[in-house]
A and B are shown apart, each in its own frame.
Chain A
């Protein structure tokens, strides 16, 4: 089946058009978010478009209920609605859970904060405050003076305490050099994986790769590659 589809450019174009409906776009955002170790940029216009469509579907379903359309048709529409709703909820949930996990790391960085929606920023802020309060009243308040900071190990510790930057490792951060499975959408060409140019890989369209997230981060952000 795929062989004639490949030959038929019209079919491929139609498939491409179908793949760019808002629900498909949300599915892609959801999949990327799921596979990426760090939080990605929140697509507010997309989410609000999907929410409008969900509302429209709900209204259509209500109309169906009143005008007595065949139950089978109704349940098909219901199924479609349920799936879209699941996708949206799961997407938002995934993001919240990532924020929960890396709240302190995210709150420290302007760049990461700017990737969140307004509501998510508020959530991140209150989460961080609560975690700090919790650690404060359970542990830190009982420690001697000078050792009671959340982010620094002790009053006297500087960037480098005994060769280890103590104040940095206490905050959990996403592992950016983990490997991810990804699929190219179009030809990228020769792509440099490291800083010095020793590792170069030729990324061709519609191929699967397992690469370090760190090196393809830019391609994910620009939408040239999908995580799977």
Chain B
């Protein structure tokens, strides 16, 4: 059936949890592209056939005309599906810049098409140039501040870090009470975690178990 493969791509996007990404399906994607070109060849040959029979392609309504129309519309449908697939993925990818940061972890990189990687890089650069024009960092302060200080646990050995007027050694699994603004860059990189969030998370988990 024409157009089934293209809709498969969209179903994949749709069945995925919001904000998540499935690996780029290059097999099906390429198949749909091939299908498009096949439609076009068929379309062109039908038109040629009509021209050879000296029929006016604008007004004639014979079998070949409707055949050509079916190929034309199937191609359009495939194009819409492909564009929607890419566009929806690109939306998720650009949201990663806000949620994760300018460098994507390996497991996400693997899921991307090469053009998507490039898009992410360019898009991050656009945000960066906006932030430097405005002279403000928009990637911190993602949640409303409650307290100027928070308790954090260090997840990876970070080593000596200078925070404002003093420096501090962040070794793995140590607990610290720090200024919230100093910690955000580490939190977004998953190097340290906010203990309040961890506790909330654990509570939610234990409730679920009950």
Interface residues of A (CB under 8 A from B): 51, 75, 78-79, 82-83, 85-86, 88-90, 92-93, 96-97, 100-101, 119-120, 122-123, 126-127, 130-131, 133-135, 137-139, 142-144, 147, 153-154, 157, 161-162, 166, 170, 172
Contact = CB atoms under 8 A, between A and B. Distances in A.
A147 B75 contact: yes
Contacts of A130: 119, 122-123, 126
27 contacts: A75-B148, A79-B148, A82-B141, A82-B148, A82-B181, A89-B136, A92-B138, A93-B98, A96-B127, A122-B129, A123-B127, A126-B126, A126-B129, A131-B90, A134-B86, A134-B119, A138-B86, A143-B33, A143-B37, A143-B75, A144-B75, A147-B40, A147-B79, A153-B79, A154-B75, A161-B76, A170-B80
A58 B91 CA distance: 36
A133 B123 CA distance: 12
Nearest to B132: A119
7 interchain residue pairs of minimum CB distance: A144-B40, A134-B119, A138-B115, A82-B145, A130-B122, A126-B126, A86-B141
Q: Chain A's interface: helix, strand, loop or mixed, by majority? A: helix
B21 interface: no
A110 to B, nearest CB: 21
Contacts of B40: 144, 147
Contact of A166 (B76, B113, B134, B180): B76
B188 to A, nearest CB: 14
B133 A119 contact: yes
Contacts of B152: none
B113 A138 contact: yes
B170 interface: no
Contacts of A139: 33, 79, 82-83, 86
B87 interface: yes
Contacts of B115: 134, 137-138
Nearest to A138: B115
Nearest to A119: B133
A170 to B, nearest CB: 6
A119 B134 contact: yes
A130 B119 CA distance: 7
A147 B75 CA distance: 8
Contacts of A137: 115
A92 B75 CA distance: 41
B91 to A, nearest CB: 7
A144 B36 contact: yes
B133 to A, nearest CB: 5
B136 to A, nearest CB: 7
Contacts of B140: 89
Interface in B63-84: 72-73, 75-76, 79-80, 82-83
Contacts of A79: 145, 147-148
Contacts of B82: 139
A135 B83 contact: yes
Contacts of B79: 139, 143, 147, 153-154
A85 B179 CA distance: 15
A135 B94 CA distance: 14
- Which of A126, A133, A144 is most buried by chain B, counting CB atoms within 10 A of its CB? A144
A144 B76 CA distance: 11
A119 B130 CA distance: 6
